[in-house]
Structure formats: C-alpha cells, structure tokens
Structure 1
C-alpha cells in the first residue's frame, strides 16, 4: 500500500516542465550570469550588499524565466492588447500626476510605486507581433502606418519623461517587429540616409552647434550636453566629460590580459563612476583586458544568434516577430552600454545585461528569456 502513495523523486516531477528548454540559450545565459557575478563581486564587494542583491536578482530573473517559459505563445498572444493598453494608460498617468525624482517624471503610485516604461519593453513588441499576426497575408501600407502609430505613442511618452535610454530600447524592439514583418526597403533607406547625413554634419559643425548659448529645439538640454560631450569630452574633463574619459582610461589600461581579478585601480580607487551599474563594462575590461572583453562580446553574440535562430524556427508569425524583437532588446542593451562606456555613443541609462546591477532590468531580462524559451519549447514539443 505504501508503494501506491509513494511520491516520485523531485527531479522526475519537474522534468516535464524542463522538457523542450533550449539548451544552447540556457548555456549562454549561464556563462554571462557567471561573468556578471564575478564582475559584481570585484566591483561591488565594498559597495554594501550589491553582490548579494545582484545574486538575488539573478535568481528572481531565473524564476520568472522558468514561469514564463511554461506559457505557450498562443496564450501569450492573449495578453498583448491588455498589457499594451495598461502600459500606455500608466504612461499617461505618469505625465499627469507622476512622481518626479532627479528632474525626471518616470514613476507613478498605484498603491505601489512603479515605472510603467518597463512594462512597454515587453508590452510593445507583444502588441506589434499580435497586430501583424492578425494582418498576416493581407498586409498593406496602412497596416504599417498603424504599427508606426502604436510605436510612436509609448516612445513619445517615455521620451517626454525624459528617459532616453528606455525609449531607445522600446524603439529598437518595436522597429525590429516592423522590420521583420516585411517593411519595404524604400521606407527604410531614406531615414537611414538622413540619419547618416545628420551624423556627418553634426561632427563637421560640432564647434558651432555645441558653442555656448546654442540650444537645439528637439532635445532636452541634458541630452544635447551628452551628445556634445561625446563629440569632445575634453571640453569639460572634470565635469560632463568625466564619465567617458574615466571609462576609456579604464578600458585602455586593461591591456591584452587585464590587471587581474580585483586588481583594477581605476575601479577600486573609485575613478569609475557608477562602477556597479552603467559603467561596469569599464571595470570588467580593466581587470580582464582585451581577451576577456572579446570573450564577453562573443557570449553576447552567441546569445543573439541563438535568439534569432529561435525566431527563424518559430511556427507562427507572432512567435517569429516576438522572438526577433526580444533578441533585439538584448542586442540594444549590450551595444548601447558598451558603446557609451567606450565613448562611441552618448551616455544613457542602459545597463549591461546580466552584468550590471539593477532589479527592474533583471526582471525584464528574465521575462524576455522566458518568452524565448516558451517559443523554442513550443516548437520542440510540436516536433516530438
């Protein structure tokens, strides 16, 4: 009788939940998470409980990934419209009666204080993928116009807060969906050419455009200052250019093999600002050098390629577009963070995935990974 009621081993009970998980994707995330813990221990060991909190955030992201991975893509599609509508409504609430901190109005109190822009990192690609799934086989220019409107509304509200970093991530995810849905090249090439020409003109006339008293009508003052600082950080080496200069010094001083684990002078003498968050890539490069940096970049490239492979193998248009957009979020996170620390992009508040400290960003990453796992899992379950 005892044998009848005997429970199976724990591993046997959870095995069905793990069946179909994408091994290569999980391996890439594991390696990046290990690099993140190693770097956080070095850069944040004297920074309160940063290392322990970072490890806790990773466990939370892993749990969220596991839970979301159990939800089939067809069920995820049902959440697209409600999540998008709630997210945009909360962004409007932020604009009307949001909470202002450090000159930015990004939070709203609904019983708990939340940052609604984080919802749109996942909610916008969900919505756009749902829209193109509904229009599959009958796409017209009007459908792309509607998608553009769905994209512009939340991005505009986020930029108004202002939050340039988050708006770039949301914009990149949305543009990825629209591009992979089949946006005609004749609509892609003109804005790309305009952006290239604007960049060349900005560099050529930097002295006049960044002169004292000149104001750019489109951007906020602090955004203009960040671009001008990027073009010539030596103008204010102890002020606005300090972050970029110290980041580049740390990266360059690492040499080929780095100064060694916990041996970074720029890091531990606190020359690198925000060394556990936005500028942790500089701390990593100083201690692990060019070789370590190339290995880290290779890890991100493998993660991105695996995400695109999952998108390519997905069984529905919704799954393909959503997987591609989530992958582009990871690419944008990594590219923008490394670019701003290296001095090739303006400084914006974008963390380095799995490496930088930050609970909210880690939750978003966990949800994104869970969606990728769900799409990969559904495909494998169908094949078996």
Structure 2
C-alpha cells in the first residue's frame, strides 16, 4: 500500500464531506457511508495483483459497452440535463455508465498492449477508443467523451506508441470528425450556447456563466481559512457536484483548495513513480508493462477529470458537467475513482516486488600496515 495515496484519498474525501455539509448537511448521512464504502473498495482492489485487472479488462470493457448502449434506450436524465440521458436507474441503484467506461477503457487498453505489444496494433486500439468515446459522445456527453478520448491517447503514449503514430491517428480522426461536428451541434444546441456564452462572458447571460460567477463569489467569501461548514448562509450558491470546489473554498478557504491540489499532486507523483520504477525492471515482463500502463491510465482518469472540473470553476473552460473526483456528491464517480486508486496501489506493490535486490556491499579488507 502507498501511504501517500491513502493520504490523498482521505484528504479528498474529507474535503468533499466539508463541501457537502456546507450545501446540505442532511446529505452527509447519504454521502458519508458511500465515502467509507469507497475507501473499502480501494483497499479491496489494492489487494489484487495487476494480472487480475489485465485479465478482467476485456470483460469489464465489454460490460461497459453494453451499458452505454442501454443508456440510449432506457437511460434517464434530470431536469437540468438539457434532455440528455446519461444514467441507468434500476430502482435500488442509479449510476452513470460513462464513469465505468473510463475504467473499462483503461483496463482494456492496458490488457491489450500487455498481451500484444505496441507494434502494428494501432488499428485495434484505435477502434476501442473510438467505439467507447463515440457511445458516450452520442448520449450526448461532450465533456466525458473528450476526457475519454484524451485518456486513450495518454494510454497509447504510456504503452510506448510513437508520438508520430499518435499524431497521425489524431489528425485522421480530426478530419473524419468535421462533418459529424455540425450534425452534433445542430442536434444539441445547448452546447453552442455554452461555448458562445463563455466566449462573450459578461455580455451574454447563461446558466453556465451564472454558475461560474456564483462559484467565484463563494471562493472569494471563503478567504484564507473559510467560513466553516455553516458559514454565513446568505444567498449561498451551494453546489455539491460540478462546482463543489466553490463549496469547499467557501467552507475551508484557500487552505482547503490548496489541500485539494496537494492531494491530486500526490496521486500524480505516485503513478509517475510506478512508471519510473517499472522502467528499471529487467527483463520487462508483460505484467510489469501492464501494471505501468494501468497506473498511468488510472492516474490520468482521476487527475485529468479534476483538471477539467477546476478549469470550469475557474472560468477557463465552459461548463461541462464533469464532477470533481472523490470530492463531488455522487455514487458512480466515487466508486470508479476509488477502484482506480486501488489499481495504482496494486501496480506500485507489483513493481516494487519485481525490482532487483540491491547487491550487498563487499567489505574492504584493512591492511596490517
């Protein structure tokens, strides 16, 4: 187990509980047990070896594809979702398959590259990325689909695919996507409204700009140390999903936001450490290669989503609806991100086990003279 990963997870969960308490204290009784379940899920996943995730990759990926197809037929949305259907509701459980699809894509590509290598295998890998991203893109969920496509590119690079091949792949897909983009925007006009509203910030009012403006106000009100979970409560924006960083900043101030960033940095540092240690293992076995790809993919799955969420809250990106991993209120994201952390734990243990033992130093004999 990686101590710094456990610290990161506890920090993120704690900040999430503080932010949610500021919005609606009653939700703590729902979110608290889910947070404990997520921590237990991480510990359980960490006990598995990377071989298990590599073997389960095709099955998990296939299951997520089935769920993504079902969303188009029996999916449900919310009043604020602009007519989109992104959730599956089976009564006792309601979850978002696109969150599971990120984890499925990481496991599938890591398994594929570990078994087949990276030479002359780009067509198959490209098909996996395009198929998964396309199903999410057509829900429609533009934010998650862009993240998923980026995740596939990062996984290719982590597996050892040449930059020139990746660039050619992206150029070809970009040219093919041009005619699709017009149809997509025409079918989903709210996307263009958010983009144009973001470009004309301060001139064209929109729901997304209202959220960003209120989030900035709450962050300013938090100051250095925050107002506490109860705070001032007057006209409080109170967002516990997409803009929860505003609630965290309002409650715990700049210190709380800094702790969030520190926790995500710990996740990045641990995953990069796994890749660095894996490069020292000789010979490089498929399992060690797969463990390294799993760790980098799981890291980007968490931190890449956090980057997008925080950029939205800062007003750099238009509103996308992407939650803040391990902090936002919700079941699907927290569970899948917790498994991703468990994968990094598992990869770290496996790579450390495979490292060669340091040779003992030979004592130097002292001369009698």
TM-score interval, smaller chain: 0.7 to 0.9
Matched, 1:261 2:228: yes
CA distance in 2, matches of 1:339, 1:240: 13
Question: What displacement does 1:218 show?
Answer: 3.9
The CA deviation at 1:150 is: 0.7
Q: What is the match of residue 344 of structure 1?
A: 316
For the residues of structure 2 that align with 1:78 and 1:180, how far apart are their CA atoms?
19
Q: Residues 119 and 36 (structure 1 numbering): CA distance in 2 closer, same or farther, change over 3 Å?
A: closer
1:113 Cα offset (Å) = 5.7
Q: How many residues align?
A: 334
CA contact (8 A) 2:241 2:330 kept: yes
Q: Deviations over 1:331-369 (max 9, x none)?
A: 112111111111101111211122211111111111111
In structure 2, what is the equivalent of residue 22 of structure 1?
A: 2
Matches within 5 A, 1:89-104: 89-95=66-72, 97-102=73-78, 103-104=83-84
Counterpart CA distance in 1 for 2:316 and 2:241 is: 18
- Structure 2 residues without counterparts, runs of 5 or longer: 173-180, 282-287, 358-369
What is aligned with 2:264?
300
- Preserved contact between residue 326 and residue 333 of structure 2 (Cα < 8 Å): no
**1:176 maps to 2:176:** no
C-alpha displacement of 1:319: 0.8
Secondary structure of the corresponding residue to residue 235 of structure 1: coil
Partner residue, 2:13: 33
Superposition pairs of residues 76-225 of structure 1, within 5 angstroms: 76-95=53-72, 97-102=73-78, 103-108=83-88, 114-136=95-117, 139-140=119-120, 143-188=121-166, 216-219=182-185, 220-225=188-193
Deviation at 1:123, TM superposition (A): 0.7
Aligned to 1:13: none
Contact 1:169-1:333 within 8 A present in 2 as well: yes
Q: 1:234 is matched with which residue?
A: 202
In 1, the alpha carbon distance for the partners of 2:246 and 2:94 equals: 32
Distance in 1 (CA, whole Å) between partners of 2:19 and 2:336 is 21
Question: Residues 361 and 74 (structure 1 numbering): CA distance in 2 closer, same or farther, change over 3 Å?
Answer: same
Any stretches of 5+ residues in structure 1 without a counterpart?
1-20, 195-214
Q: 1 CA distance for matches of 2:246 and 2:141? A: 23
Which whole-Å CA distance do the structure 1 matches of 2:323 and 2:88 have between them? 22
- Distance of 2:260 and 2:129 partners within structure 1: 32
Is 2:20–2:247's contact at 8 Å kept on the other side of the alignment?
no
Counterpart for residue 203 of structure 1:
none
**Distance change >3 Å, CA 93–CA 135, structure 1 → 2:** same
Cα drift, residue 271 of structure 1: 4.3
How far is 1:238 from its partner?
Answer: 6.3
Alpha-carbon distance change, 272 to 160 in structure 1, aligned in 2, over 3 angstroms: same
The equivalent of 2:329 in structure 1 is: 357
**Helix, strand or coil: the match of 1:126?**
helix
CA distance in 2, matches of 1:110, 1:271: 33
Contact 2:197–2:205 (Cα < 8 Å) also in 1: no
Contact 1:216/1:224, CA 8 A, preserved across alignment: no
Structure 1 counterpart of 2:177: none
Alpha carbon RMSD of aligned pairs, Å? 2.8
Q: How big is each residue's C-alpha offset from its partner over 1:126-164, in whole Å with a ceiling of 9 and x where there is no partner?
A: 11111111222x612xx1232111101011111111122
Is the contact between residue 236 and residue 242 of structure 1 (CA under 8 Å) also seen in structure 2?
Answer: no
**Structure 2 CA distance for partners of 1:114 and 1:360, relative to 1, 3 Å:** closer
